[in-house]
Structures are given as structure tokens and as C-alpha cells.
Amino acid sequence: MASPDQQVSPELQQFIARESQVAQIQSMIATLTEVCWDTCIQSPGSHLSGKEQTCLENCARRFVETTQYILQRAAHKADNSGGF
């Protein structure tokens, strides 16, 4: 473990930031899959019905749009509170 007086290289900082973003995306995909599967799939089978496919598409779209809205809203609040 690095002592407080040691500097972390910019390359390591970038690597950590990228890996953190990958982990966040993977977590979001896992949540999306679980929520939409539980909502849309009545009984798993060898193929999806048209209703299930449409439900999954709509669920995924709403999930992504909602996540984007929340992130934009949080960024906007952070920008506005930074000046006070």
C-alpha cells in the first residue's frame, strides 16, 4: 500500500477510472437484466413471445432513459451547488 507521500501515476489513475466505469456499466446491465426479466418473462421457454420481446425492449429503453435522466439531474445539481 502506498504511503501518503507517494504519488499515484496518471496512468494508474486512468486505469482505475476506466475499471470503475466498466464495473458501473456491468452493474447497470445486471440490474437491467434482472428487473426486465422479472417484469416481462412469464415462463421461460425456448423462445420469447412477441409480447415478451416487446416488453423487454420497452423495459430496457425505459431503464436506460431513466438512468440517463437521473445522472443528468445529479450532474446539474452538483454544478449548481458548486458555486454556493
pLDDT of residue 67: 87
Return mean pLDDT, the chain.
Answer: 87
Instruction: Give CA 27 to chain center in angstroms.
Output: 6
Q: Residue 1 pLDDT > 70, yes or no?
A: no
Residue partners of 63: CB distance under 8 A and separation at least 6: 31, 32, 35, 36
Domains of the chain: 22-81 (1.10.287.810)
pLDDT of residue 8: 83
Residue 48: Cβ within 10 Å count: 14
When pLDDT is cut at 50, 70 and 90, the band that residue 55 belongs to is: very high
pLDDT of residue 83: 47
Greater model confidence, 76 or 58: 58
